[in-house]
Structure 1
Amino acid sequence: MSKKLLLLSTGGTIASSVSDSGLVPKESGEDLLKLLGEMPYDIDVKDILQLDSSNIQPEEWKFIAEQIYKYRNDYDGIVLSHGTDTMAYTASMLSFMLQHIEIPVVLTGSQVPINVVLSDAPENLRLAFAAAAVCHPGIYLAFDRKIMLGCRTVKVRTINFNAFESVNVPSVATVTSDGIVFNYQPKIENKKCVLNTKIDTHVSLVKLFPGFDPELLFAMVKSGCQGIVIEAYGLGGMNYIRRNLVGAIGKLIRMGIPVIASSQCLYERSDLTKYEVGRLALLEGAISAGDMTSESAITKLMWGLGQGMDVHEISEFFNKDIAGEITLK
């Protein structure tokens, strides 16, 4: 018996056509499906959005999560077609909003619209459907012959077809002449999925650079910012000479504002214990993001704050692995 799958279409490059103002999402989910030819699955289609992913924001995350939750018991797997620019953010947020989802949910898109002869869209869509049929329950991103854990993905290229990489963990699976070859499958926990879309979007993601004025962080807080992720240097180093960022973090923590320290380096972890510049920040209360992506760190912070967590609870939350987003020592 063939697997019953659902395609939720949201727009993006994969569904775009040329217009006077550039590429605009116009193709329906049915249009995408027709261009794939025959598939060995029983596929339903629902068009839920028609947006460039630059316009997909927290309101759309909530709506997408609600749609997945609504249909999850009617299908063996769900494919979400999505623009590439913010797909890693959506995949990360869905990992927190839909913890313990009972089926595989696979996000995909393309670098070139599906109606272009040499588009990567058909291959990516076929892979997404195959992943939705065989993967363990969870949130995934399928792209360029790789199936990746959603909360570990980052868009790393703007033009080439291998646009996404799985950061700090291997891809869940790759496609070879043998078919889908799994490196691992996420563990299945026998827990009921609970939809939880409560988030606080009053957060900021700041990339540290030499000369950054720490007073800007306090200006953000005065404007309503409730939490900050700082992409620090290397293992999480932050300056304390002249422009005392370390001292500013201590003040923010005492004000009840969680400050998460991640690394500007794409690969490997932040470790505030190794150098003096990190240890001082740790002593002031900075919270390490470990080997999380920035996309995962900022969405995890939004979700944690949305649950009403205070700075100490956020610290504990960031030391828990919720959906495979962090490697704990």
Structure 2
Amino acid sequence: MTNKTKILLIYTGGTIGMVKDYETGVLRPFRFEKIKERLPELSQLDSDIEHISFEPPIDSSDMNIEHWKRIAYSIEKNYHKFDGFVVLHGSDTMSYSASALSFMLENLAKPVIFTGSQLPIGDLRTDARENLITSIRLASLKENRKSVIQEVCLYFEYKLYRGNRTMKIDAENFQAFDSPNYPVLAESGVHLKVYKEYLKQTQEEEQLKIFTEFNPNVAFLKIFPNITESFLEGILNIPALEGVIMETFGSGNAPTSNWFLNTIEKAINRGVVIVNITQCMRGFVLPNKYEAGSHFENIGVINGKDITSEAAITKLMYLLGKGKNSKELKISYEKAIQGEMS
């Protein structure tokens, strides 16, 4: 009998799973059954590693609800066979996927760690090697036979983050992600430091349930100076629209014109759910700080507090999919479900 932890790699696509053909310069998908030939360091890990791959691999720009379902079903199917899961994913939409899976995987008590890379796995200067090896190490951590990490996370460039607190901030550098409103969960340096006080802890282990009926009828509305009435009405009257993430200025501010507030209120009265989040990278929506914010509260706009755009839109899809009425949805949205807001 082995004491090794069992880790499942789920390769969805992205740069981390590519190798360069040095004759043509073209990137092609890497065959993960040969992973230990490419990364012999994996043999030093005290883990049995298996893999499954999306066929064909998905460019993360094409990621959608159906792909999130495939990841969730893969975890559900293998949940009792493995101690942890590492999802290899393109970096562009990784924060959206990590946020979505945090809501889909209800009662999760094992690590699901998203990672990827800015350079292909075969590149001389690749960041894929460290990101993959440390993600596997983190997914393998146990204390008293229980997983240390019991949530959906994202690991990139020496830092482990809560997945639904992240956003991609850089397309050029290796430090591509940040968690602006929540501390890092672990850091990799000479030693692997885990900050347990910030980890989500499952009090009683319940059976994993997955919820995949996300409602796609949602939109972003970014407020900008000189926004017009016709533009606002055009967005809020999109056929079949059921929910809007409204990105406002500063602490949740927007124009105070009567036409603006009336248009928002009409949409809410028609049943469109509107969530107010800040355009700022850091900080909270504080509805009573300025006049505009207090108007929003009076007409039923939901306070998104310090949630990221990525978590805001996926949480809205999730709660709309639950079929809650507007009052129930407002109460549910303004509470943290999976540690996504303060």
Classify the TM-score, shorter chain. Answer: over 0.9
What is the distance in 1 between the residues matched to 2:282 and 2:209?
A: 32
Q: Is the partner of 1:140 in helix, strand or coil?
A: strand
Alignment RMSD: 1.9
Mapping of residues 58-77 of structure 1, within 5 Å: 58-77=65-84
Q: Does 1:29 find its partner at 2:36?
A: no
1:172 aligned partner: 185
Q: Does 1:257 find its partner at 2:281?
A: no
- 1:25, CA displacement in angstroms? 5.4
Conserved? CA contact 1:52–1:83, under 8 Å: yes
1:298 aligned partner: 313
- 1:33, CA displacement in angstroms? 4.5
What is the distance in 1 between the residues matched to 2:24 and 2:230?
A: 40
Q: Does 1:40 find its partner at 2:46?
A: yes
What is the distance in 2 between the residues matched to 1:33 and 1:225?
A: 48
2:151 aligned partner: 138
1:238 aligned partner: 254
2:144 aligned partner: none
Q: Does 1:150 find its partner at 2:156?
A: no
Q: Is the partner of 2:114 in helix, strand or coil?
A: strand
Q: Is the partner of 1:107 in helix, strand or coil?
A: strand
TM-score, normalised on structure 2? Answer: 0.90
- 1:48, CA displacement in angstroms? 2.6
What is the distance in 1 between the residues matched to 2:339 and 2:328?
A: 19
Q: Which string of whole-angstrom CA distances, capped at 9 and with x for unpartnered residues, describes residues 86-133 of structure 1?
A: 000000000110022121110000011111000000000011101111
* Amino acid of the structure 2 residue aligned with 1:314: L
Conserved? CA contact 2:153–2:160, under 8 Å: yes
Q: Which string of whole-angstrom CA distances, capped at 9 and with x for unpartnered residues, describes residues 177-200 of structure 1?
A: 222332532121323221110111
What is the distance in 2 between the residues matched to 1:25 and 1:265?
A: 38
Deviates more, 1:162-171 or 1:45-54: 45-54
Q: Is the partner of 1:11 in helix, strand or coil?
A: coil
Deviates more, 1:128-137 or 1:73-82: 128-137
2:209 aligned partner: 194
TM-score, normalised on structure 1? Answer: 0.94
Structure 1 unaligned spans of 5+: none
Q: Is the partner of 1:51 in helix, strand or coil?
A: coil
Structure 2 unaligned spans of 5+: 142-147
What is the distance in 2 between the residues matched to 1:25 and 1:258?
A: 43
Conserved? CA contact 1:17–1:27, under 8 Å: yes
CA spacing shift, 1:14–1:258, aligned 2, 3 Å: same
What is the distance in 1 between the residues matched to 2:331 and 2:229?
A: 25
1:319 aligned partner: 334
* Amino acid of the structure 2 residue aligned with 1:42: D
Q: Is the partner of 2:152 in helix, strand or coil?
A: strand
* Amino acid of the structure 2 residue aligned with 1:287: I
What is the distance in 1 between the residues matched to 2:30 and 2:240?
A: 39
- 1:214, CA displacement in angstroms? 4.2
Q: Which string of whole-angstrom CA distances, capped at 9 and with x for unpartnered residues, describes residues 207-236 of structure 1?
A: 110122244344343422110001100000
Conserved? CA contact 1:112–1:120, under 8 Å: yes
Q: Is the partner of 2:123 in helix, strand or coil?
A: coil
Q: Is the partner of 2:210 in helix, strand or coil?
A: coil
Deviates more, 1:286-295 or 1:314-323: 314-323
Q: Does 1:79 find its partner at 2:94?
A: no
CA spacing shift, 1:71–1:92, aligned 2, 3 Å: same
Q: Does 1:224 find its partner at 2:240?
A: yes
What is the distance in 1 between the residues matched to 2:304 and 2:35?
A: 38
Conserved? CA contact 2:20–2:123, under 8 Å: no
* Amino acid of the structure 1 residue aligned with 2:163: G
What is the distance in 2 between the residues matched to 1:17 and 1:271?
A: 47
CA spacing shift, 1:277–1:53, aligned 2, 3 Å: same
Conserved? CA contact 1:146–1:171, under 8 Å: yes
What is the distance in 2 between the residues matched to 1:130 and 1:231?
A: 37
Q: Which string of whole-angstrom CA distances, capped at 9 and with x for unpartnered residues, describes residues 130-170 of structure 1?
A: 11112321101111111111110111000100101112110
The count of aligned residue pairs is 326
- 1:40, CA displacement in angstroms? 2.4
